[in-house]
Amino acid sequence: MLIGGGALVALAALGFLVAASGVISTKASTGHWRITEWFLQFSKQRSVSTYSLGLEVPPLDDGSLILKGALHYEFGCRSCHGAPGAPPSRVANTMLPPPPDLGAAVPKSNPKRLFHIVKHGVKFTGMPAFPSQKRDDEVWAVVAFLMKLPGLTETGYQNLVASEPRTAEAGQLPAGDTFASLNRSCQQCHGTDGLGRGEQIPSLAGQRPHYLANALAAYVLGRRHSGIMQPVAASLDETTIRRLVAHYAQLPASPRAPVRTVDPAILEKGRRIAHHGIRERRVPACVECHDPSGRRSNPAYPSLTGQSAAYLVGQLELFTANRRGGSSYEHLMQPIAARLDPDEMQAVARYFESRETASSALENP
């Protein structure tokens, strides 16, 4: 033993006395001592390496995943880290350590390390943990975007995060309205037509208002998990929620154009599940609950018609892993999703995506 028990106690007491005397500066304005700086950086590098070892990196090249990550970056990260063509705020720059320029930091990192930092944040710095710890898919979306960030120009970034009107008049509201300005943030992700930008962001257009209001309430209460939607929903009051929900519910739920061409055999398989369920595994017909004319329909249950297949599959996977959460009706859906295999999820999701209305010819069994 190098140091005896007594010496250790004496050393700890000395450390305490130094701290108690107040000479150790906690001022952010003066920076760290070089040794403290080195030690904090070293501990962080080692900790991130150790904890990110066992991670498996999913495919990150999907355009709609990158778009979802970029949109979250715009709302949740840009104020501190800046973006191509937009420096971070001056307040952010007085933090110790200041938020690094990620365009320069990312090439020195890798997806696993980025995932670990974005999910868990960095202790003793201003770098926050991801708002929901329940699911990893959203964190990977942010990582997918970060991997593209170093090569992105100002115009490239703006093209990702600016809301794109898909139809000229849909969703237009009088200028100067405070509701309109709030709604503009929703539109940045859900589109001015409410159909959802990219395949990862859900369509709200024509959705049942009761379901939309319950979904927002579930995010606020932390009953439904999304690091992207929870902070957004938390900023809304009840009157605004009512107005937003009414607005989206009356937009036309036309299917996203262009709906890709899908193998007819897959659509037929999806149609059978949607209308007949899978008897041997006690999977009920989806339309029983999800179509307004369904036997067990309820205004609080969502319509799936015209919703993006990628979003639907994502939600089914979350239900299966018990990580979606939801309204007080969520328990009805969880066990049904858990009985579907991945091919069945794909097929039924493609079927609902391709459907134009709940009463179209495709619907007849």
Q: Which is nearer to ligand HEC, 15 or 360 (CB)?
A: 360
Q: Does 166 bind ligand HEC (CB under 6 A)?
A: no
* Nearest residue relative to ligand HEC (C-beta): 326
Q: Does 226 bind ligand HEC (CB under 6 A)?
A: yes
> One symbol per residue from 295 to 334: x for binding ligand HEC (CB under 6 A), - otherwise; what is it?
-x----xx-x-------x--xx---------xx-xx-xx-
Nearest to 224 by CA among 81, 329, 73: 329
Q: Which is nearer to ligand HEC, 58 or 97 (CB)?
A: 97
What Å distances lie between residue 79 and 86, 99, 113, 127, 158, CA to CA? 9, 10, 22, 12, 15
Q: Does 160 bind ligand HEC (CB under 6 A)?
A: no
Smallest gap from Cβ 2 to ligand HEC, in A, equals: 31
What Å distances lie between residue 84 and 69, 107, 141, 158, CA to CA? 15, 15, 19, 9
Q: Does 356 bind ligand HEC (CB under 6 A)?
A: no
Smallest gap from Cβ 19 to ligand HEC, in A, equals: 23
Determine the Cα–Cα distance for residues 102 and 249; give it in Å rounded to an integer.
Answer: 39
Q: What is the CA radius of gyration of the chain?
A: 25
Per CB under 6 A, the segment of 50-58, 173-181, 186-194, 260-268 that binds ligand HEC is 186-194
Q: Does 132 bind ligand HEC (CB under 6 A)?
A: no
Q: What angle do CA 130, 135, 139 make, to 5 degrees?
A: 50
Q: Does 205 bind ligand HEC (CB under 6 A)?
A: no
Copy the structure tokens of residue 83: 């973006």
Query: Phi/psi class of residue 363: alpha, beta or left (left: φ > 0; alpha: ψ in -120 to 50)?
Result: alpha
Q: Which is nearer to ligand HEC, 54 or 124 (CB)?
A: 124
Exposed / middle / buried, residue 77 (Cβ in 10 Å: 0-12, 13-18, 19+): buried
- Locate tokens 């015209």: which residue? 306
Nearest to 292 by CA among 283, 282, 306, 302: 302
Q: Does 270 bind ligand HEC (CB under 6 A)?
A: no
Report the residue from 202, 206, 255, 306 that binds ligand HEC according to the rule CB under 6 A. Answer: 202
Q: How many CB atoms lie within 10 A of CB 33?
A: 11
Nearest to 298 by CA among 325, 278, 328: 328
Per CB under 6 A, the segment of 102-110, 148-156, 165-173, 250-258 that binds ligand HEC is 102-110
Terminal-residue alpha carbon distance, the chain: 80
Q: Which is nearer to ligand HEC, 92 or 321 (CB)?
A: 92
Copy the structure tokens of residue 90: 């001056």
Q: Does 253 bind ligand HEC (CB under 6 A)?
A: no
Report the residue from 66, 142, 160, 309 that binds ligand HEC according to the rule CB under 6 A. Answer: 142
Number of residues that make up the chain:
365
Q: Which is nearer to ligand HEC, 206 or 302 (CB)?
A: 302
Q: Which residues here bind ligand HEC, judged by CB under 6 A?
A: 44, 68, 71-73, 75-77, 80-81, 92, 95, 97, 99-100, 102, 105, 109, 114, 117-118, 122, 125-128, 142, 185-186, 188-190, 201-202, 204, 212, 214-216, 224, 226, 228-229, 232, 236, 244, 273, 283-284, 286, 288-290, 296, 301-302, 304, 312, 315-316, 326-327, 329-330, 332-333, 336, 348
